Amino acid sequence: MKKLLTICFVATTFGMTMNAQPKLSADNIDEVLKAMTLEEKAKLLVGGANNFFSANAVVGGEATLVAGAAGTTPEIARLGIPATVLTDGPAGVRINPTRRGTDQTFYATAFPIGSCLASTWNTELVGQVGQAIGNETKEYRCDVILGPGMNLHRNPLCGRNFEYYSEDPFLTGKIAAAYINGVQKEDVGVSAKHFAVNSQETDRTSVDERLSQRAAREIYLRGFEIAVRESNPWTIMASYNIINGTHAMGNRDLLTSILRDDWGYKGIVMTDWIGIRQGLTTISEVQAGNDLMEPGQPAQVQEIIDGVKNGKLAIADVDRNVRRMLEYIVKTPSFRKYPASNKPDFTAHAAITRQSANEGIVLLKNNGTLPWKNIKSVALFGENSYDFLSGGTGSGCVHPPYVVDMLEGLKNAGIKSSETLTDIYRKYIAYARVKFQAERHPAKWFQTEAMGQQKYPEISLSPIAVEKEVRGADAAIITIGRQAGEGIDRDIETEFNLIPEERQLIFDVCQAFHAAGKPVVVIINSGSVIETASWSGYPDAILCAWQPGMEGGNSIADLLTGKVNPSGKLTMTWPIAATDHASTKNFPGALDDYSLMQMLGNGQPIPGHAYTNHEEDIYVGYRFFDTFKRDVAYPFGYGLSYTTFEYSKPVVKAKGQTVEVSITVKNSGSVSGKEVAQVYVAAPKGRLEKPAQELKAFAKTRELQPGESQTLTMTIPVRNLASFDEANSQWLTEAGTYTFRIGANSRDIRCTAEAKLAEYTEQTSNALAPKQKLNLLKQ
């Protein structure tokens, strides 16, 4: 009897002890942290793997909680810590559209890609897009969308430029902050990426990006800094590459000294999806300030445990990171047990994507032919007129319920298209799709429809076939498509430049239709810059539609017919030639044998691509072209309208630590429209070398009726006028007279005003010093 009572007592005590375990809440994080075992702490810092390294995981394999999601954080049920789900983005939720055991489809809205979204220069609209994406993230039972992509367009050949916003860090930061605030309004998180200096795809997991501290601070980090200060992203993703000799994922200067100490960041940092890699340990990642190792492997958990036990890793570092993870988890829909519907409002979100594409499409040329009047039928040329590219490839692709191509968009606007051309191109695309997959190189992991729409080679049409289309059409459209994505950069000859078939098509169509007095419009369906200078003289109008999401055909028809007046402006310079960029000589070309294992970082660095020297330094994009007075095809900030705008009454007032700039914009034309006023600042000559001018503010008007005016007021913090003073590890706004140049693009300045400013300094950490001397470009 005594033995039985003892057993009962022990059992009761054990049950009470188990029941006494704290359950995670926002108010007891320290208590839960104290209750966690070392094994549980290590587990929480390592992702849930999600079969990432299985045969088909990279192309969206079966995840534990949401099929096709990129990753998870692990569950610790004993302490009430749920698993959370991370999904790819940033142009929409990227999950598998089909799942085992159900006939339901799980499509997601394909929103405009980053370069199109930024070309709206409309932060309010970008915020609406972000909120819609945040809603779909939540409704599909995910907690974080892996975006926005915030790397700079250092060079037009980067394969992933379509995901990013601009060559300018200020514009990047403002657009990203608007996107992040929109997403996080829905109580889900973002992962701003790729932090930092991820300026190429070739050998991205091993390349050493070598650059000055000034270029790092002013060009490659400034956008992230703006986003951190203005939108407080839940998470930030550390990039694959090396920076000045140290992997970004294990770079304490980057992840702690700059991000947390200088900027005050409070969220979590996660790795990009790499697992265990050469030259980097999980211990060093934890010590640097990486809170979450994705996609996660058991060996990483064991490395953390062993590191604490053998003294190589301080438990204080582990506890610091675990606390951040718990602070993240209590904010998530998974923790709040949000009842995900798996049924987003596609109708409402389609309207948002259509509007954002309408404002992001850029009118590059117009000799008066647009907007169309009395155009009833059109001859549609180019295979991408019928297989329209809504987005790019790789982790940034989205699986939408539909894509409106040019044929359907024109039909919806009441415009007929050639049945003969439709038959030719439809049959060709069906053939090309089968042929493309049959000939796909086994190492080309990205060449599959699961990783996004593919671009098929353009076909030739004889001049006779083209001439036959003139009789039955009032106008012609030629769509020039370009596809790019994760894992590989673009080449100059076939992806930046036009191929011979495209050049001949433009020439033949323009010759035939112009002979009959009929207009020709070229639509550029590309996520990135292409060469235009050699052929832009032929067509009557050129629209850069980018990859504008699943409503793309409707959006383009809206602009062609005048239902919408174009208001998009370029967020990057379009050079005459790719080699005109100062960075091109230090930018790698695409590699035919770039394998999946090299992409994952599990192989040796690619010979000849071990490092990239940023010799152009701070002279990226228009900072180079405008300072060194180089000719361009289209300048930064450029974009035409169907109306005209006048600028007047520039006023600049220094108010303590801010400068207030106001300008009156008047619609001086005959149709309503929107205009973007851009403020470029020229600094006085001082001890630090400066570009000729830098974008420091912008604002977009409302829809102005003919004759209507609006006064735009913009506030610029004096600290945003600072350059980075490497010698003293500080931001420095030198005293003197600053010129504020307000215009329609970087080379169309309409008004100027001046303000005298006192010196401003702000001390920072001495971080990211290069380990070797660089030959930097000087004025």
Domain count for the chain:
4
Whether residues 660 and 732 fall in one domain: yes
Mean residue pLDDT of the chain comes to 92
pLDDT at 447 over 70: no
553-578 tens-digit pLDDT = 999 999 999 999 999 999 999 999 99
pLDDT at 524 over 80: yes
Whether residues 29 and 78 fall in one domain: no
Asked whether residue 520 is assigned to any structural domain, the reply reads yes
From CA 292, how far away is CA 734, in angstroms rounded? 40
CATH number at residue 655: 2.60.40.10
Extended beta strands in 702-769, E state: 709-717, 723-725, 730-733, 736-745, 748-757, 760-763
Asked whether residue 749 is assigned to any structural domain, the reply reads yes
Whether residues 332 and 309 fall in one domain: yes
Q: What is the DSSP letter of 179?
A: H
Asked whether residue 512 is assigned to any structural domain, the reply reads yes
Element (H, E) at 426: helix 419-438
Place 606 in a pLDDT band, splitting at 50, 70 and 90: low
pLDDT at 397 over 80: yes
- Of 533, 553, 572, which marks where a domain is finished? 572
Q: CB-hemisphere CA count at 13 Å for 352?
A: 24
Q: What is the pLDDT of residue 779?
A: 85
Give me the percent of the chain exceeding a pLDDT of 70: 92
Whether residues 695 and 656 fall in one domain: yes
624-659 tens-digit pLDDT = 999 999 999 999 999 999 999 999 999 999 999 999
Q: Which of 80-84, 173-177, 251-255, 606-610 has the lowest mean pLDDT?
A: 606-610
Q: What is the pLDDT of residue 62?
A: 34
Task: Report the 10 Å Cβ neighbour count for 761.
Answer: 13
CATH number at residue 97: 3.20.20.300
Asked whether residue 159 is assigned to any structural domain, the reply reads yes
**Left if phi > 0, otherwise alpha if psi is -120 to 50, otherwise beta: which for 348?**
alpha
From CA 452, how far away is CA 180, in angstroms rounded? 24
Q: Please, what sign has the CA dihedral across residues 529, 531, 536, 539?
A: negative
Is the CB of residue 661 less than 8 Å from the CB of residue 630? no
Whether residues 440 and 480 fall in one domain: yes
Whether residues 26 and 92 fall in one domain: no
Asked whether residue 95 is assigned to any structural domain, the reply reads yes
Of 472, 625, 664, 642, the closest CA to residue 568 belongs to 642
Average pLDDT over residues 489-501: 95
From CA 612, how far away is CA 598, in angstroms rounded? 17
333-358 tens-digit pLDDT = 999 999 999 999 999 999 999 999 99
280-315 tens-digit pLDDT = 999 999 999 999 999 999 999 999 999 999 999 999
Q: Please, what sign has the CA dihedral across residues 576, 579, 582, 583?
A: positive
pLDDT at 415 over 90: yes
Asked whether residue 351 is assigned to any structural domain, the reply reads no
pLDDT at 618 over 80: yes
Whether residues 245 and 155 fall in one domain: yes
Can you tell me which residue has the tokens 């971080």? 767
pLDDT at 214 over 50: yes
Average pLDDT over residues 47-63: 45
Asked whether residue 598 is assigned to any structural domain, the reply reads no
Whether residues 21 and 44 fall in one domain: no
Whether residues 323 and 377 fall in one domain: no
Q: What is the pLDDT of residue 174?
A: 98
Is the CB of residue 759 less than 8 Å from the CB of residue 732? yes
pLDDT at 55 over 50: no
Average pLDDT over residues 408-437: 95
Asked whether residue 637 is assigned to any structural domain, the reply reads no
721-743 tens-digit pLDDT = 999 999 999 999 999 999 999 99
Place 274 in a pLDDT band, splitting at 50, 70 and 90: confident
Whether residues 563 and 699 fall in one domain: no
Whether residues 393 and 482 fall in one domain: yes
The residues that are catalytic are 272
Q: 599-637: buried (b, 16+ CB within 10 Å) or exposed (e) per residue?
A: bbbbeebbeebebbbbbbbbbbbbbbbbbeeeebbbbbb
Element (H, E) at 721: none
> Domain range for residue 507?
361-572
Whether residues 253 and 310 fall in one domain: yes
pLDDT at 53 over 80: no
Q: What is the pLDDT of residue 445?
A: 55
Cis peptide bond prior to 441, omega within 30° of 0: no
